[in-house]
A = this chain, B = another copy of it.
Amino acid sequence: MELQFRSEPLEEDIQTVHQLLSGNGIFRPREILVAVELVQDRITKGPDSEYRFIFADSENQLAGFVCYGEIAVTVGSYDLYWIAVRNDCRERGVGKELLLRAEKDAVSSGARAMFIETSSRIDYAPAKHFYQKAGYAETCIVRDFYDAGDHKVIFSKDLLKG
């Protein structure tokens, strides 16, 4: 699968990101709206946006994207806000390549560590496995954060090690 990468969203990505996340079947409508807002923020503000993106296109169609950015009031901590791959493009290394490129870009901007916040819901088990394979470790759990019984699980990776 041949991929083209770009860091700026196109106007049409508001639509395609929404479709991609809806097709994934694990995100709540409200979560998807937040993701679309981040794309809109980047389109409006350009490089002044605190949200950075890498989009992977295959045959001129969006195959996946990653959204990340420096966390305010930290020194060199970045947050991986979103990473998602189109259902029919899975298991082909798209996510891994997107994550590696995001980490590399963050480090080139002074990042020290990447953090990922995810949910304890069973739907997110494959995502957690993916993060762990990519060198992330579970650092802590915030109980009942998303909802009663739905905890926040925080992963992190030291980007300057190894």
Which A residues are closer than 8 A to B by beta carbons?
Answer: 28, 30-31, 34, 71-77, 112-113, 115, 139-148, 150, 154, 156, 158
Contacts and interface: CB of A to CB of B under 8 A. Distances in A.
A39 to B, nearest CB: 15
A139 B143 contact: yes
Contacts of A139: 142-143
Contacts of A28: 73
B34 A148 contact: no
B145 A115 contact: yes
B77 A145 contact: yes
Chain A to chain B: the 5 pairs with minimum beta-carbon distance, closest first: A140-B140, A75-B147, A31-B73, A74-B146, A139-B142
B142 A73 contact: no
Most buried by B among A34, A76, A148: A148
Contacts of A147: 74-77
A144 B113 contact: yes
Given A77-B145, A139-B142, 6 more contacts: A30-B73, A75-B146, A77-B146, A113-B145, A115-B145, A140-B154
Contacts of A154: 140, 142
